[in-house]
Structure formats: structure tokens, C-alpha cells
Chain A
């Protein structure tokens, strides 16, 4: 187990480095940049600006300084376009927002998705089953950028129940629509997956044995069927949580929550490569570490995988 963890970690670290180097070169080599404007700066001023941001040195030196600053002081450097803010400050202001509603969205996904899937499997071909299938189709055809305007139209413009955007320190009214808008399609995914694996488990021999022993249905479901049935859902939730945080770009822009996605798009518009690079690294580290944790969790829970290690 320890061996396996170390091996996975040993793979994750070079991956991050490869990404940093790849993204760094890609962005520095892209033509144009934050300092190109319609009226070009005088060469002397330009040279000063480049020196100020350390961009007059050769690329590999810049890369080395960049990595060194991240490793020693967790410093992602200054933002190119927002003069008085560093990338660290931008991340620090946006990340908690995204994480907050991302967390609630994940809660929404699990709390609604798993019971729906389990019920659909237990009442196979019943109303609940059809409701769930309908929901899965619904969420596929209404991605968040169609769903969010419709929600705003209903809840804000027609009924005036919820604010149509903003954050306001994270009051619950401001979290509801971003969390639902972000989570719906994943909720349906979780429900569909849970339904499938639950059906498979319910038809397996050990459940038949449990039934033959005369265990009550409740015990069979809660103690025997649920745990193996939820394993695929667990694997699914890792990437989903990451997608939620990366996919939140749309939610941040649409609901102007001030989350990290907004900075990402602003950075993209103004070619603020230091912000983009910093965010890309954060996303990447997050993805890899969540996947790592989940894989370890999976190995710990599933005896088949655990014994194979």
C-alpha cells in the first residue's frame, strides 16, 4: 500500500513539472502579449517593462526563476495586466469563492444523485426509473449555459426569489443557482452510474446468498449492496470534482461570482500569461492530487484492488 502510494506520487511530480515547462514555453512563445498595444511603446520603455518583469533574460533562465519562486516561496509572480496585484492575490481572492460553491455543488450532486440512482435501480422500470432517465436526458440537453439563463429568467426575473448574480460574501441565496447550475449534469451522471452498478450488484450471487439467508431487504441494501455499488460513483466523483472547479469558468462569468474562472477569462482576454499559467498549474495540481487521493481511497476500500497491490 505504502509502496503503491509512493509510486503514484513519484509519477505525479514529473507530470506537474512537464506541464509547467510545456505551458510556460507555450505561453512565452505565443506572439503578442500583455504589453503589445495598438500604439507600440518606445523601445526604451518596453525594455524597462520587460526588465521589471524579468522578461529580458533567456527563456530557460526565466523558467528556472519561475519554478524556483514557486517551490521556495509559493510565489507565482506579478500579474502582467493588473498592475498592483500579484497572481497569488488573484488566486487567493477567487479560489475560496469557487471552492465554496463547488463544494455545495458536489454536495448537491451526491445528495440528489445517489438516492435517485439507488431508487431507480430498486424500482426498476417504475415511475422513479423513468423520472431518472428523463433527468439524465434533460441534463444532457440543457448544459449549464442553457440552464443558467433559464434559471435566471424564472427565479430572478419572473418570480424574484433569488439574486441573478454576485456573491455578497457567500450568503446562501447567492450560492443556490451557481451550485445547481454547475451540478445538474453531473448529478444525472452520478444517478445513471449508481443505477447501473446497483442493478449489477443486485443481480450478483452474493446478494442472492444474502436473500437466501433470509436477511431483511433493508439489511441487504444498506449493508451488502450499497458499498460495492457506490465504488464506481467514487471513481467518477474525482474527475467530476475537478471538472466542476475548471468548468466553473462559465458559472463565474455568467453569475459574476468573482470566482477563479472570471480571472481565468480576464487573463485570457488581456493575454495575462502569468495569471493563466498560475491558474493552469493550480488546476493541474488539484486534478492530479484529487485523482491520487481517490485512487488510494479506492485501493483502500476495494479488497480486490487492495490485494492486487
Chain B
């Protein structure tokens, strides 16, 4: 018994080939398919979505606000401040008698916001400067690379201190300093890619058509290096979350009563000797979940986009 599938005649073969042509996938569609085949990456996207939803809507479930002090328990936090459903403090209380659940929601909000906004903005800025340095070369390139060297040599905490002395401390200023510190992210790699690409035929063709440099860089070269930028962003976002947490831990980041994962972990670590471990455990757990998810998302993106790994 023969099926039509196994014995294609030439006409059917042509039809099938034509169908394949129509449904042939672009680079990005291809990458999307590959990304969604990666189980860890999909689970991580789901986890991250949950975290984002938690950060956005979590305060609706909190019985207390993040700055409110529960006077009835203050002073007996060690014995009665532990997490409990009964008194509405799901994650317990912090050292000053504030509701940890509300504070973790607020902290997640700050950390995720700072991570994504500052991380992605700095990669975009770095990539644009890197692309221009790679494209123009010469003096401009030398100046950019000199700045890059100096920037990496300055301990970044100085920027936080000095910037906040100039402009005060707020969430917006914090995001700006982080962008200022991280503008070098993605610079080198995009510069290298553009340097490789600017001598290719399609760039010559675009130049022949009389396009200006701006159009060549952004319309013709940029789509070809976009995958690098995407991969790099997925690496920089967790790094920025970590940087924010570190500076908040050290006390030059986010300011009370606002909070972030780093600030919460810092408070939790300082009271750990009193046995109030929940103050450390909850923010640390959220931080770790976010970092794991972002790691696997980055990994999945790299596998999906990097042409070197194409199998």
C-alpha cells in the first residue's frame, strides 16, 4: 500500500516546495520558534511575568502600606513578627515594624523598574555610540575608546556619590546615574560588528544610492546588529539589578522609605543575628528568582539568535 505522501510526483513536489516558500520564516520568526522550544527559557519568561504582575498588583493584596508601622507588634518583632496569615503580615515584619509583604512588593517594583529601564536604555545608548564609533572610525573612534578606558577605570560608586550631591536622591536620579555608569554596555561589541559590516557590499550599495550616514547606520546596518543588542540587553538587565542592589546595600542607592531588593537584603542581613531570618529570606528569594529567570532568558535568547550556534 502506497500513500501519496511517500510517492510524490513532480507536480505535488512543486506544490509542496511552493508552500514551503510561502511559509518560509524570517530570521526573527525563526529565532522565536527556537526560543519557545527552549523549555527553561519559557518557564523563566513565565516566572518573570509572575514577578512583574506581583510587583504591579501585589499591593492590592497587602493589608498594610510599605511605610506604615504596626505599633501593636513593634517591640515584640522577634516573637510575634514572624510571617502569619492571621495578622495580615504574610511575610512578617521588618525591624521597624513595617509589613514585609508590602515592602517586598515595593522593592520588586523598584528593582525591576530600575533594571529594565536603566539596563535597556544604557545598552541602546552604548550601541548607538558604538555603532557610530565603528562606522566613522578615526578621531571619533579614538575619543570614544579613550572615554571607555577611563570610564572602566573609575570606581562607579563615585558617580553615585557625586551625582546625588549635584541633583539629589530620587528614583529618577538613580536610574540616570546607572545609565551614566553603564553607557559603555554593548559599546565594544556593537562597534566591532559595525566595523566588520561597514565594508560589506550592501553598505557600499546604500552609499552608492546616495543615502546619508544616518540612514545607512540606522536603516541598513542596525537591523543586522540588532541580535547582538538583544542578547546584550538580556545580560545587562540582571547586571543592573545587581548594581542597584549593591549600591542600595551600601547605602548610596535608593532612599527610605522607598526600598529595593538590595536595601531589603541589607536590612535583613543586619538583623540576621537576632534570629529574624524572614527579613532576609523573602527579599533574597525574590532576588534569586529574578536572577535565575533572567539568566535562562538570556541563555535562551543567545541560543535562539547567535548565528554561531545555528544547528
Contact = CB atoms under 8 A, between A and B. Distances in A.
B279 to A, nearest CB: 11
Given A23-B158, A145-B246, A276-B158, A140 B252 contact: no
Interface string B146-171: 10011011110110111001100000
B291 A140 contact: yes
A283 B292 contact: no
A58 B146 CA distance: 28
B269 interface: yes
Nearest to B293: A141
B228 to A, nearest CB: 18
Given A22-B150, A149-B268, A143 B155 contact: no
Contacts of B273: 157
Interface string A21-52: 01100110011100000000000000000000
A242 B265 CA distance: 26
A284 B154 contact: yes
A27 B250 contact: no
A104 to B, nearest CB: 21
A26 B180 CA distance: 14
A148 B269 CA distance: 9
Contact of A264 (B157, B266, B287, B291): B157
Interface stretch (A59-67, A113-121, A214-222, A246-254): A246-254
A31 B150 contact: no
A27 B149 contact: no
A72 interface: no
B216 interface: no
B249 A288 contact: no
A141 B291 contact: yes
Given A18-B150, A145-B265, A157-B272, A280 B155 contact: yes
Contacts of B153: 15, 19, 242, 283-284, 287-288
Interface in A233-287: 239, 242, 246, 249-250, 253-254, 264-265, 268-269, 271, 276, 279-280, 283-284, 287
Interface size class of A (residues with CB under 8 A): 35 or more
B178 to A, nearest CB: 16
B262 interface: yes
A152 interface: yes
Label chain B's interface by main secondary structure. helix
Given A19-B154, A22-B150, A141 B280 contact: no
Given A31-B166, A283-B153, 11 more contacts: A137-B292, A141-B291, A149-B269, A152-B269, A152-B272, A157-B272, A250-B249, A265-B250, A271-B161, A276-B161, A283-B154
18 contacts: A18-B150, A19-B150, A30-B165, A137-B295, A141-B291, A141-B295, A143-B242, A145-B246, A149-B268, A149-B269, A253-B250, A265-B251, A265-B252, A268-B252, A280-B154, A283-B153, A283-B155, A287-B152
B240 interface: no
B154 A142 contact: no
A153 interface: yes
A212 interface: no
A146 interface: yes
B144 to A, nearest CB: 13
Contact of B149 (A15, A269, A283): A15
B238 interface: yes
A140 B295 CA distance: 8
A271 B164 CA distance: 11
B245 interface: yes
Contacts of A254: 269
B165 A32 contact: yes
Nearest to B283: A146
A15 B145 CA distance: 11
Interface in B30-63: none
Interface in B254-307: 262, 265-266, 268-269, 272-273, 277, 280, 284, 287-288, 291-292, 295
B265 A149 contact: yes
A280 B158 contact: yes
Contacts of B154: 19, 23, 280, 283-284
B250 A149 contact: no
B262 A145 contact: yes
A284 B162 CA distance: 17
Which of B160, B165, B166 gathers the greatest number of chain A CB atoms within 10 Å? B165
A265 B251 CA distance: 9
Contacts of A279: 155
A268 B150 contact: no
Interface string A136-170: 01001111011011001100010000000000000
B250 A146 contact: no
Nearest to B298: A140
B77 to A, nearest CB: 18
A140 B238 contact: yes
A38 to B, nearest CB: 16
Contact of B249 (A31, A145, A242, A280): A145
A15 B146 contact: yes
Contacts of B284: 146, 149
A148 B270 CA distance: 12
Contacts of B161: 268, 271, 276
Given A280-B154, A283-B153, A26 B291 contact: no
